[in-house]
Amino acid sequence: MSADIDRPAWLGPYRLEGLLGRGGMGEVHRAFDTRRGRLVALKVLPAELAHDEAFRVRLRRESDNAARLQDPHVIPIHDFGEIDGRLFIDMRLVDGVGLDRLIAAGPMDPRRAVALVTQVAEALTDAHAHGVLHRDVKPSNILVTGSDFVYLADFGIARALADDATALTRSGATIGTLAYMAPERFDGGAPDARSDIYSLACTLAECLIGRAPFDATSLPSLMKAHLTSDPPRPSRIRPDVPPAFDEVIARGMAKDPGARYPTARDLAAAAQYALSQWGPLPAAAHAPAPAPAPAPAPAPTPAPTAIAPVAVRGRSRILALVAGAALLAAAAGGTGFALGRTSAPASVQAAPTTVPPAPQPPSTASPAAPTTTPRPSSNAGPIAMGGERAPAYVYTVESNYPVTLFYTDSQGDQINATSVPAPWRLEVDTSAWGADATPSLTVGSTSTKGDTTVTCTITDDQGTVVATQTRESAYASASCAVFF
């Protein structure tokens, strides 16, 4: 039992089944919600915060805002409130580890670092579009599943605490938070989305160099470093990191908020471009020679370099077909994507690709708001029960820039790369996936020539569109996701 938080067997309707973690912001328990019959992650805040009326009001407001976020990379909040004098937040239970623990094992392969940070960027971009700031983006608030699907945690609690410097200090979370805090927050300036972008750049830097951006260990020295010291240059610390990442980190961690990337998605797009400057990706000795045409093989385990594996029911895995986002040298544009599924591996066959007319210049019209079709009902998904055949799905990517696809093996080593013009089409036979199979598709597209538009669509074997989304961006990067 901790000194400041009692851990009874029960907290109201929640049966506490084990401590998942403890920090300055409280304890997180694996708990069973007897009202709804489900396992959850239950964060119980320090007892003294329940007596702070101003904090209680902020927590309710920010938790309510965070609960409305629908991005798949944000841990859903089920409920929040107070039970027996303790403030709590009921969240989805995620089977994953903190990014900080992965980094503790050593610097990451740049491909994996970019893949993980790209997913965090999507969560932040969606939150910022809804007027929600995180204010505590750092590796320990990022959970990574076994398939490298990423969740960003602690939206509500981080914002509520950040509004109260006394509460933050009292929580004991100061050092861990300040290591990633934007300079303007030390000067009393009002934080905005660019403050989160600074923290995301710090996180990317830590993934690449294996430590926090600044070595300072005391509060004064840490504050001074953020205010006056140059950001780290990953390529000087790790020769195997492309030098283009130095500029990504420098801009993302710029002292002047106005000099940073305008959105988290733009930072991710710049990181993807930096990755493309690596040249041919290192291949393992056992990797087969590149094939002349796309022919991805099913993989028994997830590829760790997936850009954004989409959340699905059951134990998530990723097809051996994984896309890396890269820019074509000739077309100055590219698209990366990932397919999601559950259950056993499926056979994958690429349908004949229709070559469209040459890509047209990006539209100069103002970027339109994202449009998404309503999620279909649960019976729209694949069915493999009672001897019935689950439908095949057709995944279609349309973009105003050509598509660059990277095929990798189960270890993430490149075995083939090919370029095809958009739209790109893939037909997947999902009949072997099992009853809980869920079609999903995530796409990211970047260019260096103005507006970018990307559309991803899933069509069943009857020709019915079950999910589609279009994204337009004036910042030369766009991404979309369809899933249910």
- DSSP line for 19-64: EEEEETTEEEEEEEETTTTEEEEEEE--GGGGG-HHHHHHHHHHHH
Say if CB 416 and CB 407 are below 8 A apart: yes
Q: Amino acid identity of 75? A: I
Helices (H), 110-164: 110-129, 155-162
C-alpha to C-alpha distances, 87 to 81, 121, 210, 212, nearest whole angstrom:
6, 29, 35, 31
Distance CA 137, CA 264 (A): 12
Are the beta carbons of 216 and 202 closer than 8 angstroms? no
192 has catalytic annotation: no
Whether the bond between 423 and the residue before it is cis, its omega within 30 degrees of 0, is yes
Strands 440-447 and 371-372: unpaired
Contacts of 6 (CB under 8 A, 6+ apart): none
Residue 43, marked binder: yes
Q: Which of 71, 90, 126, 136 is catalytic?
A: 136
Q: Which 8-state DSSP code applies to residue 179?
A: T
The number of C-alpha atoms within 13 Å of 341 and in the hemisphere containing its C-beta is 31
257: left (phi over 0), alpha (psi -120 to 50) or beta: alpha
Q: Identify whether the C-beta of residue 303 lies closer than 8 Å to the C-beta of residue 322.
A: yes
Q: Which residue has the tokens 């709590």?
A: 88
Catalytic (active-site) positions: 136
Mark the binding-site residues for ATP, compressed into ranges.
Answer: 43
Binding residues: 43
